[in-house]
Structure 1
Amino acid sequence: MSDKTKAGSIIEPRVLKGFRDFLPAMEIPKKAIISKLETHFSSYGFVPIDTPVLEYTEVLLGKGGGETDKQIFHFKDNGERDVALRFDLTVPFARFLAQHQSELALPFKRFHIDKVWRGENPQKGRYREFTQCDFDIVGVDNAEADFEILSMMDSSFSVMGVENYQFCIAHRGLFNAFLAHLDILDKSTEILRTVDKLRKIGKEEVASQLAEITGSSEKANQILAYIHKENENESFLETLDRLSSLAGNEEVHTKRMRAIHAYLMKAGIADHFVFDPSITRGLDYYTGIVYETFLTQLPNFGSVCSGGRYNDLASLYTKENLPGVGSSIGLDRLLAALEELESPIVQSTSSADVAIFNTDMAGFAYYDKLARSLRKAGLRVCVHLTDKKLAAQYKWAENNAIPYAILVSKEEEEQNRFTLRHLANRENHPNLTLQEALTILQRK
């Protein structure tokens, strides 16, 4: 036994690289966003599910391949089974669908908010343990389902209070039709993963890698011509027409994108979406529309919400046809961006709406009774558990970003009254009844 592990020694408190503790200042706004999203997803008729954090490695890697193989955390468990931590919530969902399809009514709409793990290189906004917020529709393959997911993405950002965002969408099927037109569809996986790195490694390096993959500088340049918009003012439909022409006047996927755009226009949210053919999503399982989301004030930060249509993913586990479309909000990544922008969303760190100060331990039963009444009215109430000096209690409340405090004198207690104080401006409201205090607190 080393000196560090001997009885009575101190172990250095530390966390693994890429993993984090969340102090209340970050966990409070994170939980608030999750609560809003859960309510919002439910308003669309989506239902929650959960899956194990550990899966058989072969289940998770059945369609991953490439970078996923390198990033997954896998090991032998005590039973010598090869198991792995889930790297996203989509692949476990496909396994879930195959295993429980007889118990589910299609179309099935689900949401799942939980942690995932990837062994990638930690950097700003990227971690090895992070929370994803997924929502999917399975069992229907049409423009209406695609549109509903896009609509939910847009309304979710509104519900979270996030501003200045842009959804960049493309179509994997249309891109594959283009590759088939160039007679290089068999190299699609490598091409997709290379194009997916465009924002990271730049146009020149992508061109070099594409030339190596296709064996032709001409075809590499044709791919770059497809994914690059010469005219930044090119409209959604103009981009679609150009790409359709490059893909040999492809019709099926073009028609789907036209229908989706029409729905976006009728919903009044088309301005939030741009057709960006450089969006390919590197994972193999996407088959139709794909999308990523960028904050316009942080254009180089990367996507904070992405997804697409995956019609063949469940075929790894079942012969039943279970087409799906979904999206995933990278919550920790989004929070990191909002923190950089000093957004009010991540500054809402109050642990309670009101604190009841303890001016006399003999009055604690009354403080508790008062707190119960306020909580029944829907307020978050924290009673100070010691009768420290008021200056210390004020400091405690301010450190916890609690906006109001209640102080009770003996005379007020006898009359079932108290003083309400706004801690920021020091404004006092003395001798209030419970109802009078609620009128003030509930209009904040």
Structure 2
Amino acid sequence: MGAQDKAKTIIQPRLLKGFRDSLPASEIPKKAIIAKLEALFSSYGFVPIDTPALEYTEVLLGKGGGETDKQIFHFADNGGRDVAMRFDLTVPFARFMALHLNELTLPFKRYHINKVWRGENPQKGRYREFIQCDFDIVGADNSEADYEILSVMAASFAMMGVEGVRFHLAHRGLFSQMLTHLGIGQHNTEILRTVDKLRKIGRDEVKAQLIELLDSPEQAEAILSYIDKENPDESFLTTLSRLEALGGGESEHSRRMRTIYSHLVSAGISDHFILDPSITRGLDYYTGLVYETFLDALPHYGSVCSGGRYNDLAGLYTKEHLPGVGSSIGLDRLMSALEELDSPITRAGSAADVAILNVQGHHAQCDRAARILREEGLSVSVYLVEKKIGAQYKWAEAQAIRYALLPEEGGTFTLKELGGTESWQQLSAGDVSTIIRKEQI
């Protein structure tokens, strides 16, 4: 029996748990959103950067926090070096700033949209490989920089047409001030990590863990009283005054929050922002303002955009003081949530503006028309195999292409609106461009 007669071994096509393929129906709207976000970030003066997917493990884990240590993908490379996949875009950015500081001008405003990897338990809206959209300001430690990040957050969700979005703000300094006032400031890190689990494990379990840590039901209840809001409609400034009282009075942290809020009011976007003392963020590198973003219709999805101020993060890699503040949109989680809400922004876009059908003997005519239409700024998909015209129309409709162009004798075309009733005959390529442009307006 010849080798060609032997049974062919087929490798089973499969994916790792927590990883996904992205089909055109989801990739087209995702790319469109990314393009709009990049344009928005640029309009605020943010510039793009990129960093490697793989870093030295010690670089990534220098100050990530206990939970991050458990979730990171790390291994020894072929040279025996301990390396890891980036788990976010913030820590690599801190390393980037330290390495390239002499090549940059402060304040430095960057955006970075790329994949990150975390070995967390996959569930709806949570994956082990996902896209983050980060935007940060380094070199400015003031309320104006904090406000600008919040402003970009609000503008991003408005641009995407996301309704019912709420930005929950808090301040690490206010929380630490309260713990110091209670005489338990030495447990700051452990308490922050415990409170950060509130939405996952609930108030009772958080209280139990705090009691175990502090050996004091009274202190545990005092912490929970700080983060509780008896009235969910309590105003931003009322909540802030209450937190000041629980923390021993006014401080630089509460004054910063008042100034930030005044900027939000002046911009007319304050209604979207809530002061929520339960927001602590589990990562160790946050030092001031922190925030998470929730959708009113899908609170179980968790935060779809989060971040905060990190004034000491770059200190792991440089002696220079580089205060920073930034935010990260979890694009894949947000897209998953918006698909559940049947948001128009997630619906599949068209593969092209127009499809040119394949008729034997008309290749040169069709190729010339395609080049003319592309030069006019239209996207054109040419059908490349010979099939019945009806089958070609179905192919174009399946790709949500609105127009099909059929070559005729004499060098003219018939333009048909797919899914509609309009058709135009005996057109030149220039006529086709004019009609499609007019219909798109």
Asked whether the two chains share a fold, i.e. TM above 0.5, the reply is: yes
8 Å Cα contact 2:166-2:295 kept in structure 1: yes
* Partner Cα separation in structure 2 for residue 439 and residue 150 of structure 1: 42
Aligned with 1:134: secondary structure?
Answer: strand
Report the equivalent of 1:326: 326
Aligned-pair distance for 1:186? 1.6
Contact 1:174 1:250 in 2 (8 A): no
Q: Structure 2 counterpart of 1:403, which letter?
A: R
Deviation string 1:236-281 (CA, Å, 9 cap, x unpaired) is 1111111111110132011111111111111111111111111111
CA deviations 1:123-174 (Å, max 9, x no partner) are 1111111110000000010000000000000111122232221111111111
* Equivalent in 423, 426, 430 of residue 425 of structure 2: 430
Unpaired runs of at least 5, structure 1: 1-5
Deviation at residue 435 of structure 1 after TM alignment: 4.4
The one-character-per-residue Cα deviations of 1:14-60 (angstroms, maximum 9, x if unpaired) are 11111111111111111111111111111111111111111111111
CA displacement, residues 177-214 of structure 1 (integer Å, 9 cap, x when unaligned): 11111111221211111111111111111111111122
1:61-100 residue CA offsets vs partner (Å, 9 max, x unmatched)? 1001311111000111111111111100000100111111
Amino acid at match of 2:87: F
Cα deviation code 1:296-317 (max 9, x no counterpart): 1112111110000000000111
8 Å contact from structure 1 (residues 355, 381) kept in 2: yes
The 3-state SS of whatever aligns with 1:397 is helix
SS at structure 1 position matched to 2:169: strand
- In the alignment, which residue of structure 2 is the partner of 1:3? none
8 Å contact 2:372–2:430 — kept in the other structure? no
Paired amino acid for 2:323: P
Q: 1:218 and 1:52 mapped to 2: Cα distance?
A: 48
Partners of 1:397 and 1:174 in 2: CA distance: 58
Contact 1:210 1:220 in 2 (8 A): yes
Name the CA distance, whole Å, in 1 between partners of 2:426 and 2:237.
65
Asked if structure 1 preserves the Cα contact closer than 8 Å seen for 2:89 and 2:112, the reply is: yes
Task: Please give the TM-score of this superposition, normalised by the length of structure 2.
Answer: 0.96
Return the letter of the residue paired with 1:284.
D
Q: Residue type of the partner of 2:74?
A: H
- Which amino acid in 1 is paired with 2:50? D
For residue 426 of structure 2, what is the amino acid of its counterpart? N
SS at match of 1:350: coil
* Cα distance per residue 1:327-370 (max 9 Å; x no partner): 00001111111111111111133111111112x23111111111
Distance in 2 between the 1:64 and 1:301 partners? Answer: 23
For structure 2, the residue ranges without an aligned partner over 5 or more in a row are 1-5
Per the alignment, residue 78 of structure 1 pairs with 78
| 1:99 equivalent in alignment to 2:99 | yes
Which residues in structure 2 correspond to 1:187-202 (within 5 Å)?
Answer: 187-202=187-202
Amino acid at match of 2:273: F
3-state SS in 1 of match to 2:299: coil
Match of 2:301 in 1: 301
Q: Give the Cα separation in 2 of the matches to 1:179 and 1:372.
A: 68
**Which moved further from structure 2: 419-428 or 325-334?**
419-428
Alignment of 1:81-160 (within 5 A): 81-160=81-160
2:141 touches 2:324 (CA, 8 Å); kept in 1?
yes
Show the 5 A alignment for 1:172-211: 172-211=172-211
The residue number in structure 2 matching 1:418 is: 413
Write the mapping of 1:351-390 to structure 2, written as runs, cut at 5 A.
Answer: 351-358=351-358, 360-390=359-389
The one-letter code sitting in structure 2 at the alignment partner of 1:309 is R
Q: Which moved more, 1:88-97 or 1:23-32?
A: 23-32
Secondary structure, aligned partner of 1:367: helix
How far has the Cα of 1:429 moved from its partner?
2.2
* Counterpart Cα distance in 2 of 1:61 and 1:435: 58
Contact 1:361 1:386 in 2 (8 A): no
Three-state SS of the structure 2 residue aligned to 1:406 is strand
- Code of the aligned partner of 1:288: G
Paired amino acid for 1:441: I
SS at match of 1:300: helix
- TM-score, with structure 1 as normaliser: 0.95
Aligned AA for 1:121? Answer: N
Partner SS, residue 362 of structure 2: helix
Which residue of structure 2 lines up, in the alignment, with residue 11 of structure 1? Answer: 11
Task: Please state how far the C-alpha of 1:398 moved relative to its aligned partner.
Answer: 1.3
- State the distance in 1 between where 2:176 and 2:434 align: 61
Question: Equivalent residues in 2 for 1:206-285 (5 A)?
Answer: 206-285=206-285
Deviation for aligned residue 1:436 = 4.0
Aligned to 2:282, the other structure's residue is in SS state coil
Between the aligned partners of 1:45 and 1:7, the Cα distance in structure 2 is 60
Per the alignment, in what secondary structure is the counterpart of residue 274 of structure 1?
Answer: strand
Secondary structure (helix, strand or coil) at the match of 2:115 reads strand
Q: Tell me, yes or no, if the aligned pair for 1:356 and 1:384 is still in contact at 8 Å.
A: yes
- Residue 337 of structure 1: aligned partner: 337
In structure 2, what residue type is equivalent to 1:61? L
Distance in 2 separating the partners of 1:420 and 1:173: 64
Match of 2:3 in 1: none
CA contact (8 A) 2:24 2:348 kept: no
Task: Quote the Cα distance in structure 2 between the aligned partners of 1:369 and 1:199.
Answer: 59
Distance 1:162 1:7 in 2: 53
Structure 1 CA distance, aligned partners of 2:283 and 2:56?
A: 19
SS for the counterpart of 2:346 is: helix
Amino acid at match of 1:176: S
| Structure 1 residues 378 and 162: CA distance shift in structure 2, 3 A | farther
Secondary structure of the residue that 1:361 maps to in structure 2?
A: coil
Q: Which residue of 2 aligns with 1:441?
A: 436
Moved more, 187-196 or 14-23: 187-196
Aligned AA (2:27): E
Aligned to 1:394: 393
Equivalent in the alignment of 2:39? 39
The one-letter code of the counterpart of 2:233 is: N
Identity of matched residues, %? 67
Structure-2 change in CA distance of 1:376 and 1:161 (3 Å):
farther
Structure 2 distance, partners of 1:350, 1:373, is 20
Contact 1:353 1:380 in 2 (8 A): yes
